[in-house]
Structure 1
Amino acid sequence: MFTLLVDRQRLSSIAHSHHPIAAPLSGVTVNRLLRRTGRGPAARILDLGCGEAAWAMQALTHCPDGFADAVDISTYALDRAAVAAESRGLSDRLNLHQRDAREYVPDGDYDLVFCVGSTHVYGGFTPALRAAGRHLNEHGVMLVGEGFWQAPPTSEALDALGAKPDDFTDLAGLVERAETAGWTPIYAHVSDPAEWDDYEWSWVGSLTEWALDNPGHPDAGEVLALAREHRRQWLRGYRDILGFVTLVLRRAHRPAPADS
């Protein structure tokens, strides 16, 4: 197991330099998912565990009169988000909040809520649905991205992820958990191998490039070793075993009881 000494938030910011969407999804996929939400031009948007707020900013391009709040604990990620928002002319419609997503006071009137790749903040998929859903209005849509076992986990995959077999379910089981929690999927995207490879190679490559470009930095050796170890864990561990799905969810409204 690799013992990490370098600042985790800074490390994550470097790792996502070439892939600001902190999940194995392409830009084309993100736009398709946003179109499927069907939100209006003036939607209120919330991105929980936003990283560099890539989801929130892209949603604002689909909702030209909308406003977004994006929440994350990382100073590095939010600084990059602020620069990106300024360059895209979105600063006046995007509010960045540096805090733990669990501490963001529920509003209850957002039209669109994102929790993609950040369910761990809440302790898992089902608690994340419950917590993130409290921010959503009655007819709102929630996008939740979560891992699942695409194939039965091997011991190498479990070791690489530091996981247990019951940390994830299969895709059908994940959908069932969403429905049990009161949500109905109206669309979903399962990340394909090309999206996974692009994400992982971008993650490893960004760290490697940084270490090679900064050989005199005290963290360079550790960052290079970490990138190498992550690449090994991915290629020899969980590649083609861990899947990732982004679910587009709406509340399941119970039918009214028939008149007796």
Structure 2
Amino acid sequence: MTDPSGFGSGSRLTFNSPLSDARADRLVADLAAQRPETVTDFGCGWGELLLRILQAAPQARGTGVDVHGPDVQRARRAAVERGLEHRATFVEAPAAEHLRPVDLVISSGAYQAFGTIPDALKAIRPIVNPGGRLLFGCEVWERTPTSEELAAMWPGTTIEDCLFLPDLVDHAVASGFRPLEIGMATRDEWDRFESGFAAGAEEWLLANSDHDEAEAVRARLDAHRTIWLRGSRQVMGYAYLTLGPDPRTDDGPGGG
């Protein structure tokens, strides 16, 4: 059954990750400065970051890939609204079906499409053209979670589910990349993301407290808030890595 409150739809969010407009603008400017002609965004979601890159790099064409149909539809509508539908293609498909070499790859919160984080970095390395870039974003531990914090997170969460930032960067280097920028989402970016994720549903609940589904929505919101405030907050961070392919490892289809 569809949640009448729209909880989880991201209707109040611009990005489906802890990413501010200021950070996005800077990342887009840096990536567009490389003048990419081809871009692939794995786990593109609503396509916001890809569309901003295409706006900043008028010579580029991009493909967004995601397995969640409603997100792909939202991305397509956004492309039309910005007049980018002729340069932006959004497809509902597994990432493994779109591993063609490109100048810029975006993978933010989507490493699971390939398995583990090391699996994702190894799968992506051969498709980044020489001189290209990979923007890689994922959750990392800011500190070792306690057993109580792990228990308050998503069911089945273990310490193995995330890496620490130094280990993430080491895996990127071992996979054939060099780190050009290493950044972490701020606490404000995280709080705005988590609050925004629930804001629309919380407002619906205030206006529809007598709805047949109100109690179910309230339970979902309360569970989400517990995971965030008693589990992941100030424990789990989000890293943004801008990576360049190391020419010494050009042995895949994207290499020379």
Is TM > 0.5 for Structure 1 vs Structure 2?
yes
Native 8 Å contact 1:129 1:181 kept in 2: yes
What is the aligned length?
Answer: 245
Amino acid at match of 1:49: G
Deviations along 1:69-108, whole A, 9 cap, x unmatched? 001112211111122111112111111111111222x211
Stretches of structure 2 lacking an aligned partner (at least 5 in a row): 250-256
Per the normalisation by structure 1, the TM-score is 0.85
Deviations along 1:157-181, whole A, 9 cap, x unmatched? 3121332112222211111111111
Tell me, yes or no, if structure 1 residue 193 matches structure 2 residue 187: yes
Stretches of structure 1 lacking an aligned partner (at least 5 in a row): 256-260
State the 1:217 CA deviation. Answer: 7.1
Quick one: which of 138, 148, 160 aligns to 1:156? 148
Q: What corresponds to 1:243 in structure 2?
A: 237
Q: Taking structure 1 as reference, are residues 178 and 40 closer, same or farther at Cα in structure 2, changes over 3 Å only? A: closer
Q: What corresponds to 1:230 in structure 2?
A: 224
Q: What corresponds to 2:252 in structure 1?
A: none
- Give the whole-Å Cα distance in 1 for the aligned partners of 2:208 and 2:97: 36
Partner of 2:225, secondary structure, is: helix
Tell me, yes or no, if structure 1 residue 142 matches structure 2 residue 134: yes
Moved more, 150-159 or 230-239: 150-159
Report the identity percentage. Answer: 30
Partner of 2:83, secondary structure, is: coil
Q: What corresponds to 2:95 in structure 1?
A: 101
Native 8 Å contact 2:140 2:162 kept in 1: yes
How do 1:1-260 residues align onto structure 2 when only pairs under 5 Å count?
12=8, 14=9, 16-37=10-31, 39-41=33-35, 43-104=37-98, 106-108=99-101, 110-159=102-151, 160-161=153-154, 162-212=156-206, 221-254=215-248
Per the normalisation by structure 2, the TM-score is 0.87
Q: Taking structure 1 as reference, are residues 124 and 214 closer, same or farther at Cα in structure 2, changes over 3 Å only? A: farther
Q: Taking structure 1 as reference, are residues 202 and 139 closer, same or farther at Cα in structure 2, changes over 3 Å only? A: same
State the 1:231 CA deviation. Answer: 0.8
Q: Taking structure 1 as reference, are residues 173 and 59 closer, same or farther at Cα in structure 2, changes over 3 Å only? A: same
Q: Taking structure 1 as reference, are residues 143 and 227 closer, same or farther at Cα in structure 2, changes over 3 Å only? A: same
Deviations along 1:193-246, whole A, 9 cap, x unmatched? 000000000012133334555668765543332122111111111100101101
- Give the whole-Å Cα distance in 1 for the aligned partners of 2:131 and 2:36: 14
- Give the whole-Å Cα distance in 2 for the aligned partners of 1:178 and 1:218: 49
- Give the whole-Å Cα distance in 1 for the aligned partners of 2:157 and 2:112: 13
Amino acid at match of 1:152: T
- Give the whole-Å Cα distance in 2 for the aligned partners of 1:94 and 1:218: 41
C-alpha root-mean-square deviation of aligned residues, in Å?
2.2
State the 1:68 CA deviation. Answer: 0.7
Native 8 Å contact 2:125 2:177 kept in 1: no
